[in-house]
Amino acid sequence: MSFSANFRHRFSDQLLAPVREQIIELCADSSIILDIGCGTGDLLVRASHKVNKGVGIDSNHRMIHFANQRKARKDIKNIEYLCGNIFDIDIPALGYDICTCTLFLHSLKRDEAIALLCKLKNCVQRLIICDYKQPNTVSGKLGVEIDELISGHYRRFKEYQRLGFFYSLISESGLQLLEEQHTAVDGLSIYVLEKL
C-alpha cells in the first residue's frame, strides 16, 4: 500500500471529515457527482449512500489505487475512480449534476484554474468548491503555511493568496456565488456556485 496515500488517509481525511460531511449535505439526493482531484477518494466513499453515481479523477495513480482498494473493500458499486490529468479528460456536457473540488484549485496555475472553471460551468449544474480562505487564528495561518510549504506548489498557493483567495477566481470565470459556508477548519470555506 502506498505510504503517501495511507498517510493522507490517516491525517488529511480525518481532519477533513466534518468538511466532507458538510459538502455531502449540500448535494441533492441521487445526484451524479464528479470529484476532481479526488485524492484518496474519501469524499465519494462517504457520499456513496446518497448519490446515484460518483466519479473521482486524480492524476496520482497511488491515490487512485488506494481509492479503488477502499471501494472494493467496502463493496461500493456506484463510485468509479479514474487516473488522469483533468485537462486531458473530456467532461461530457450535462453528464454530471455537481462537480466538487476540495483543496485542488489553489494548486493550479491561475489561467488553468480559470479555464477549468469556465469549462465546468457549462458541463455541470452546480459547483461545490472547498478551498483556502484567510485563516482567522495564528494557528490556522501556521497550519495552512506549513501544509502548503510541503505541498510542492507553494508559489501557486502564494499567488492564489495574494490575489484574494477563491474570490478572485469567481468573477473571472463567469460564475455566481450562491452560498459560502464556513467550516470547522480555520482557513477553509465551501463555495456553492452556478453559471452566471
Ligand X SMILES: C[S@@+](CC[C@H](N)C(=O)[O-])C[C@H]1O[C@@H](n2cnc3c(N)ncnc32)[C@H](O)[C@@H]1O
Out of 27, 51, 63, 99, the only residue in the binding site for ligand X (CB under 6 A) is 63
- Residue 28 vs 89, nearer CB to ligand X: 89
At a CB cut-off of 8 Å and minimum separation 6, what does 152 contact? none
Out of 66, 96, 104, 160, the only residue in the binding site for ligand X (CB under 6 A) is 104
Out of 12, 69, 125, 161, the only residue in the binding site for ligand X (CB under 6 A) is 12
Does residue 47 interact with ligand X by CB under 6 A?
A: no
Out of 27, 32, 34, 39, the only residue in the binding site for ligand X (CB under 6 A) is 39
Name which of 40, 94, 30, 77 is nearest 62 in CA terms. 40
Q: What's the per-residue H, E or C state across 107-151? A: HCCHHHHHHHHHHHHHHEEEEEEEEECCCCCHHHHHHHHHHHHCC
The least distance separating ligand X from the CB of residue 139, rounded to whole angstroms, comes to 20
Backbone angles phi, psi at 144, to 5 degrees: -65, -45
67: how many CB neighbours lie within 10 A of its CB? 27
Does residue 103 interact with ligand X by CB under 6 A?
A: yes
Out of 58, 97, 131, 148, the only residue in the binding site for ligand X (CB under 6 A) is 58
Stretch that binds ligand X, among 46-54, 103-111, 121-129, 175-183 (CB under 6 A): 103-111
Stretch that binds ligand X, among 22-30, 65-73, 80-88, 91-99 (CB under 6 A): 80-88
Kindly state the helix (H) or strand (E) to which residue 193 belongs, with its residue range. Answer: strand 188-195
Sort residue 187 into left (φ over 0), alpha (ψ -120 to 50) or beta.
left
Stretch that binds ligand X, among 51-59, 118-126, 136-144, 180-188 (CB under 6 A): 51-59
Binding site for ligand X (CB under 6 A): 12, 16, 37-39, 57-60, 63, 85-87, 102-104, 107
